[in-house]
């Protein structure tokens, strides 16, 4: 077998190996950032107007390995691992005092309290107090809180 053919085959084989790795890395990457979807200008613009009607009355908290809990939105709600939080969470990815929900002039807001892993409102990271509406989803750590009208 001429050497030149063998050398070509050798490089071809290595190229094939790296083609596999490149495709695998692509899958990992897509998994991390999520598939590319047209990005709405405002993170919350794609909320259907119908769902926004009515004022938030309660939140439904779904925590890993735990039964679902419901909290009425009457007073300020704090999320965290600390005992003093109204929504006390036993979640490794939640900070001691993680986030809070408060109402101002009849609108409810969610605010991150300098948590390690961040607070997400409909998959968008909360950087400043953001207004919430019925149907929104707040995520802290692995826990999801859904805003309900009733």
d(CA 60, CA 52): 17
* Residues contacting residue 45 through CB under 8 Å, at least 6 positions apart: none
Strands of the sheet containing 143-148, edge to edge, are: 69-72, 58-62, 143-148, 137-140, 119-121, 124-125
Minimum gap (Å) between residue 64 Cβ and other proteins: 6
Minimum gap (Å) between residue 32 Cβ and other proteins: 8
Q: How distant, in Å, are the alpha carbons of 3, 35, 116 from that of 145?
A: 65, 24, 18
**What residues from 2 to 31 belong to the interface with other proteins (CB under 8 A)?**
6-7, 9-11, 13-14, 16-21, 23-25, 27-28, 31
* Between 30 and 124, CB nearer to other proteins: 30
- Stretches 1-9, 45-53, 73-81, 94-102: which one binds other proteins (CB under 8 A)? 1-9
* Between 1 and 48, CB nearer to other proteins: 1
CB contact at 8 A, 99 and 140: yes
Minimum gap (Å) between residue 101 Cβ and other proteins: 24
Minimum gap (Å) between residue 116 Cβ and other proteins: 12
**What residues from 39 to 98 belong to the interface with other proteins (CB under 8 A)?**
64-65, 90, 92
* Between 52 and 66, CB nearer to other proteins: 66
Helices and strands in the chain: count of H runs, count of E runs: 2, 11
**What residues from 89 to 128 belong to the interface with other proteins (CB under 8 A)?**
90, 92
Grouping H, G, I as helix, E, B as strand and the rest as coil, residue 14 is helix
């Amino acid at each position: 077998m001429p050497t030149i053919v063998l050398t070509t085959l050798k490089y071809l084989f290595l190229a094939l190996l790296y083609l596999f790795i490149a495709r695998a890395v692509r899958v990992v990457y897509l998994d991390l950032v999520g598939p590319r979807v047209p990005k709405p200008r405002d993170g919350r613009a794609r909320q259907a107007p119908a769902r926004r009607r009515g004022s938030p009355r309660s939140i439904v908290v779904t925590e890993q390995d735990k039964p679902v809990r419901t909290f009425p939105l009457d007073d300020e709600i704090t999320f965290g691992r600390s005992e003093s939080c109204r929504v006390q969470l036993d979640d490794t990815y939640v900070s001691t005092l993680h986030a809070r929900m408060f109402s101002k002039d009849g609108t409810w807001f969610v605010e991150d309290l300098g948590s390690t892993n961040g607070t997400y409102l409909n998959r968008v990271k909360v950087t400043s107090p953001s207004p919430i509406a019925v149907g929104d989803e707040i995520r802290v750590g692995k826990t999801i809180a859904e805003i309900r009208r009733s």
